[in-house]
Amino acid sequence: MAAGWQFWIDRGGTFTDIVALDPDGKVAVRKLLSENPEQYPDAALHGIGRILQEFGAGGKVGIAAVKMGTTVGTNALLERKGAPVALVTNRGLRDCLYIGYQNRPDIFALQIRRPEPLYRAVAEIDVRVGADGRVVQALDPDQANAELRRIYDLGIRNLAIVLMHAWRYPQHELALAELAAGIGFEHISLSHRASPLPKFVARGDTAVVDAYLSPVLHRYVAQVENGLPAGASRPGLWFMQSNGGLVRAAVFHGKDSILSGPAGGMVGAVAAAKRAGLAKIIAFDMGGTSTDVAHYAGELERSVDNEIAASASARRWWRFIPSPPAAALFCISTVCAAGSGRTRPGPIPVRPVTGAAGR
């Protein structure tokens, strides 16, 4: 057995579910409202404290690890409650992310309703690198500084820096991040670190989402870290990413959090199905803010839908099941401790940025 308590937590938009394992192998399960400010500031911390108190642990036995899946990032994105963000890009590319790939959910719709972009302002920088790495237009620090200060004066403190070909030649993104950190911007997401891939739109969208969600996520992570009981050793705090892997709190970023909560349910559903001898399953979780549906038949496919579309989502995946009553398993999302610690470098933190190139 572990030297201390183990906690597995699913922090959803409506409820927070906690599974605890004490050093003697006893299991405790609690369910709390995620938002109940009259009773407690944070459901996860309150649940941990209550379990320790009920079991008479108090400060006698420490916490070995806390592993959490959370929809904090998911809900902030769905409800448009992320941090104010500005896009920093090359001159002439301010509309590229808004135009996107021209994908339409309904190609015959006469009235096209575009979602509003997550960023509130755009700064165009006179700089360009060619696909071969040749500097087409050198960075003008004075022009860049003026544009960044204009954004800062608008009250925006978070940036997504997205430059052409930066996934391979990141020097200009790094130089702009250093200028922005000197001005006082609080969070800076660089596209070549958020998504080191060639496609400008996909890489840019990832960086914008990362800058939009990371401040919200980091506040919540800090709240949990600071609220954990102090002991001889600091408890290990892990968060589940969208890919189903666990990472330390310090490297948990907005771009990796969108399916943090749903991923735990999917991994848990697959594990439960294998134990039951089921080769093909549908996992379905209707939450308070979103509905998560996954299909597993050797490879995992998943979708996240608004809860209004829950029935349609289930019917969509149902066609993959050859004999529904015998082969399907509907599984409510729960926390799963499985996962790896593998991760990619995240966005640049608040501290000043060095000028060294890196991925």
The backbone torsions φ and ψ at residue 178, rounded to the nearest 5 degrees and listed phi first, read -65, -40
pLDDT band at 234 (very low <50, low <70, confident <90, very high): low
pLDDT, position 300: 56
Of 335 and 176, the structure prediction assigns the larger pLDDT to: 176
> What residues are paired with 15 via a beta bridge?
33
Q: Contact at 8 Å (CB) between 88 and 162?
A: yes
pLDDT, position 285: 80
pLDDT tens digit sequence for 131-181: 998 999 999 999 999 999 999 999 999 999 999 999 999 999 999 999 999
Alpha helices per DSSP H over 34-169:
43-54, 72-78, 96-99, 141-153
Q: Contact at 8 Å (CB) between 324 and 264?
A: no
Q: Contact at 8 Å (CB) between 59 and 133?
A: no
- Residue 356 predicted with pLDDT over 70: no
The rounded distance, in Å, linking the Cα atoms of 19 and 44 is 11
Least confident among 36-40, 77-81, 294-298 = 294-298
Residue partners of 63: CB distance under 8 A and separation at least 6 = 4, 5, 7, 48, 228, 229, 231, 235
pLDDT band at 336 (very low <50, low <70, confident <90, very high): very low
- Helix, strand, coil: what percent of the chain each, to 5? 35, 25, 45
Choose among 298, 295, 290: nearest CA to 329: 295
Q: Is the C-alpha dihedral spanning 52, 58, 63, 69 positive or negative?
A: positive
Of 322 and 279, the structure prediction assigns the larger pLDDT to: 279
pLDDT, position 60: 58
Of 355 and 303, the structure prediction assigns the larger pLDDT to: 303
pLDDT, position 46: 94
- Residue 355 predicted with pLDDT over 70: no
pLDDT, position 295: 80
Residue 291: which H helix or E strand, with range?
Answer: strand 290-296
pLDDT tens digit sequence for 51-100: 988 887 655 567 889 999 998 998 899 889 999 999 999 999 999 999 99
Q: What percent of the chain has pLDDT over 70?
A: 80
pTM of the full structure: 0.79
Tokens of residue 157, six digits: 């403190």
